[in-house]
Copies of this chain bind each other. A is one copy, B any other.
Amino acid sequence: MEIIFIPADEMKSVFAEILLKNGFQNRKAETCADIFVQNSLDGVISHGVNRFPRFIQYIRDGYVKPDAEPTLISSSGATEQWDGNLGPGPLNALFATERAMKLAEKNGIALVAMANTNHWMRGGTYGWNAAKKGFLFIGWTNTIANMPAWGAKDPRLGNNPLVIAVPYGNEAIVLDFAMSLYSWGKIETCRLNGEKLPFPGGYDRQGRLTDDPSEIIMTGRVLPAGYWKGSGLALLLDILATVISGGKPTLEITKQNAEYGLSQVFIAVNPENLFNYPSMENSVRLIIEDFKKSIPEVNNQHVRYPGEKALKTRKENLINGIPVNKQIWDTILNL
């Protein structure tokens, strides 16, 4: 596999141009291209550059409507429900994050739900966005069924990623995780590289836990993170996303021929009116400093807080360019 390094600016103009050719208006093409580039810069290429061809395909297939705008369905106090009208997932999610921040400015906390939206790519994007603007953020999405419940064989749960973010200096602490221990992307990558998973991440054909990615791909039985805990959390996140947005649950999405029309939740908290706001930055710093004092299991492999690695990768990629599989980049240039 040949790796080439694409500068962020170049990647952004390539993406924007393709989006313009595929029905996006100017400003939207810029914003959407930027999100795909940011995800790639932060090292999340599975939901950045590597996912871009499929995103374009979904537009061509009509699952993602490039010119659709979200419409307000219902509003009550600090909560709003929007219909995403099958618009581009990243644009709808960014819109919802910004609405939640706006509402939180007045109410302290705010809840914005988005029904009939599309894959938001990297959930962390919206956490970084909100936290860098000074807000606390909790958000999640449902997905197509891709994980069996704990104790079950057939996939009836989504892996429903959850994002939690807080400001940290000029940057942020951003937790972004799916309810399966490993993403299908990670499992596929290990299989291609002929590697085992670091820990058992699913079941083999004999129904035993295994770290063999080929077996897990054959059975389709990926393991929930924390066994019954990830399974329970996935179920509750789907129920909440469905109930709060009035949109589709995983079970309805799964009946379709592709993953579209998702339900998402965005909660923002404005810390500015908290009595302890002046000491907030210091509190977070002290917690992280204590966390970083942890005695590492392996010498010199210090523990990392969520988002720390993304920040490091971002800095490297801004200097060296974003590492991309040349074959994928060639595919993109031909879109």
Contact = CB atoms under 8 A, between A and B. Distances in A.
Given A229-B230, A233-B175, A243 B156 contact: no
A108 to B, nearest CB: 3
A153 B302 CA distance: 11
Most chain B CB within a 10 A radius of its CB, from A173, A181, A229, A275? A229
Contact of A239 (B106, B173, B296, B304): B173
Nearest to A73: B275
A249 B287 contact: yes
Nearest to A112: B109
A186 to B, nearest CB: 12
A61 interface: no
Most chain B CB within a 10 A radius of its CB, from A109, A251, A305? A109
Nearest to A164: B236
Interface of A: 73-74, 76-79, 81, 106-111, 136, 148-154, 156-157, 164, 166, 173, 175, 177, 181, 199, 207, 225-227, 229-230, 232-233, 235-240, 242-244, 246, 249-251, 267, 269, 271, 273-276, 279-280, 283-284, 286-287, 290-291, 293-298, 301, 303-306
10 closest A-B pairs by CB:
A225-B226, A79-B108, A246-B276, A152-B294, A77-B107, A76-B273, A226-B226, A74-B275, A77-B108, A109-B111
